[in-house]
Structure 1
């Protein structure tokens, strides 16, 4: 699988394709049809707002997660998602980056108007310097990155200019240890048609 090294410190790389066709498109259709997609509300500035996408939190029973003052309890592993988790684990092991995952956040974007705001996956439940592996299925969209405000880059490196990483169908983006401490990312609205489902695999510390 061809791999594009986007950053070396913190490590950020993109691999595509992960599954190949027709498996990737079949998985996209299956997840869209079979999962119990939800649109929870989050409290921002004292008001409840529905998130601008649909999602499912899935994983081992103990992989509970707290985000924006809400507790999320995982749905059981869907067989197709568990198989994808194992495929991602094998791909990382083959690249010399062993990892394990007990949970995954799936986000469903119906079109380019649905989005995810600026954030880092740095909640305490994820431990120190987590590795996040993100699989993209469906419409290709750019994930926008920027340096986290107030965090200096290693050595004598200057400020990190914001940049896009285009995530094609059937791709694997790996944000290695240190990426969440140094970077923020967002899926900003774009006039791009088509369904996209992302799966971000992670390890929740018990």
Structure 2
């Protein structure tokens, strides 16, 4: 049955200070793609340093893209591996979907996160590193288990609580964050111990190496 209240791809999911669009399910066969990526990519644990303490996560990552597009966040540099045929094809497919919103972008990199179980999540953060530019366009494709994705405004509060926007991302679903989103909002993936399978996110972005400090 059609959900009469489902957002249109052109609807902004944020109330202000940014732009997030939900393009819905854009992958016809997400399960084979999920298992292809799980088994074929060189996953490695992520390493983050926060407040002087270094942590090795059970969440695993792959940083992929054009040559010489290394990426630094949380105190560590991620070395780029070349595009695989599969991920490059997905990149092109995502770019074509964004054209329908009037967003013309050629992504030169992709951060893939693998959450092996519902015990794995991602804390609040903004993708606001200098090399992403002032108003980064970040397209996030979800595969595998449905997980809750939360946006939290950095400063605005209502009834003494941060303003939040919550959505559940299904396998094959694509959202795009652009405009001032990274400047004013943080986002996270919450843990969910009832999740039966893992989840992969592919976050396509454009790195500007000359913007590095």
1:173 to 175, 189, 196: 175
Partner of 2:25: 17
Distance in 2 (alpha carbons) for counterparts of 1:45 and 1:182:
22
Map 1:146-165; keep pairs closer than 5 Å.
146-149=152-155, 161-165=163-167
Partner of 1:196: 199
Unpaired segments ≥5 residues, structure 2? 1-7
Distance in 2 (alpha carbons) for counterparts of 1:183 and 1:32:
30
Map 1:41-190; keep pairs closer than 5 Å.
41-149=47-155, 161-190=163-192
Distance in 2 (alpha carbons) for counterparts of 1:160 and 1:90:
35
SS of the aligned residue for 1:173 comes to strand
* Cα deviations by residue, 1:36-79 (Å, 9 ceiling, x for unpaired): 00003222233321124011010011211111221111111011
SS of the aligned residue for 2:25 comes to coil
TM-score (norm 1): 0.89
1:7 to 7, 14, 21: 14
Unpaired segments ≥5 residues, structure 1? 153-158
8 Å contact from structure 1 (residues 61, 73) kept in 2: no
| Farther off after superposition, 29-38 or 140-149 | 140-149
SS of the aligned residue for 1:143 comes to strand
SS of the aligned residue for 2:201 comes to strand
8 Å contact from structure 1 (residues 52, 115) kept in 2: no
Distance in 1 (alpha carbons) for counterparts of 2:119 and 2:23:
26
Distance in 1 (alpha carbons) for counterparts of 2:120 and 2:99:
33
User: Taking structure 1 as reference, are residues 48 and 14 closer, same or farther at Cα in structure 2, changes over 3 Å only?
Assistant: same
How many residue pairs align between the two structures?
196
Distance in 1 (alpha carbons) for counterparts of 2:67 and 2:112:
16
8 Å contact from structure 2 (residues 145, 197) kept in 1: yes
8 Å contact from structure 1 (residues 137, 168) kept in 2: yes
TM-score (norm 2): 0.86
8 Å contact from structure 1 (residues 52, 116) kept in 2: no
8 Å contact from structure 1 (residues 107, 199) kept in 2: yes
Partner of 2:41: 35
